[in-house]
Amino acid sequence: MIALLKGKLISQNENVIILEVNGIGYQLSVSGAALNLVSKNPDQVVLHTHLHVKDDGIDLYGFASADEKQLFQKIITVSGMGCKTALNILKTMSKNQFVAAIALGDRSALTKVNGIGKKTADRLILELKDDFADTYFAAEASAGAEVPVSTANDVFQDALSALLALGFSYGEAETMVRTAQAEIGENDDLQVLLKTALASVGKRGRA
């Protein structure tokens, strides 16, 4: 397993570079942060790497930090998410921007990435939000920022999942569930919550 490479930049074509390490040239596809790192000091490049073995060859991906590499590896665990799309995310967004988009359910930010449509964005949010939300909101709180109330309760998440399955975006579903909760108060009946949430759509349509 190739986990890290330290060498000299030989060539670059967009986000694909060749790095010479002890006389051997390694071709890597790199993230935006890694590309910035390479451009600052091309003679002494240190990249954290992910080796992807596939039927028709081997791909090597490079990252600016161990954290960024771990984020890439987390993204590719999402169903239907390949290495190229995951790298597109980290070419378009920084690590912190992506984590914030997931934690806040910001579908519009995610769909700016090449290869990510609305359904893929919703799937990323649904499968990764639990992993990132607590860390993101804790960091924001420690920085003194006002953050949304946590939405980690099971009924809330179940209602979100059901609305996403019906075709609503994450942002729409979250607004619907919050509106329904405000209307019915402390009620942990999922069916009542969903019925009220769906009814709120009709009310907004008549407004």
What are the backbone dihedrals phi and psi of residue 56, each rounded to the nearest 5 degrees, phi first? -105, 15
Is 22 within a domain? yes
- Residue 111: count other Cβ atoms within 10 Å of its Cβ: 18
Q: pTM higher than 0.75 for the full model? A: no
Same-domain check for residues 172 and 193: yes
The span from the CA of 93 to the CA of 79, in Å, is 20
The span from the CA of 168 to the CA of 179, in Å, is 15
Q: Identify the DSSP state of 115.
A: T
What are the backbone dihedrals phi and psi of residue 171, each rounded to the nearest 5 degrees, phi first? -60, -40
Same-domain check for residues 187 and 160: yes
Same-domain check for residues 53 and 97: no
Per-residue pLDDT of the chain (207 residues; tens, 9 = 90+): 899 999 999 999 999 999 999 999 999 999 999 999 999 999 999 999 999 998 888 999 999 999 999 999 999 999 989 999 999 999 999 888 898 888 888 888 899 999 999 999 999 998 998 888 766 655 555 555 444 444 435 677 778 777 877 777 777 888 888 888 888 877 777 888 888 888 877 655 444
**Structural domain for 42, as ranges:** 1-79
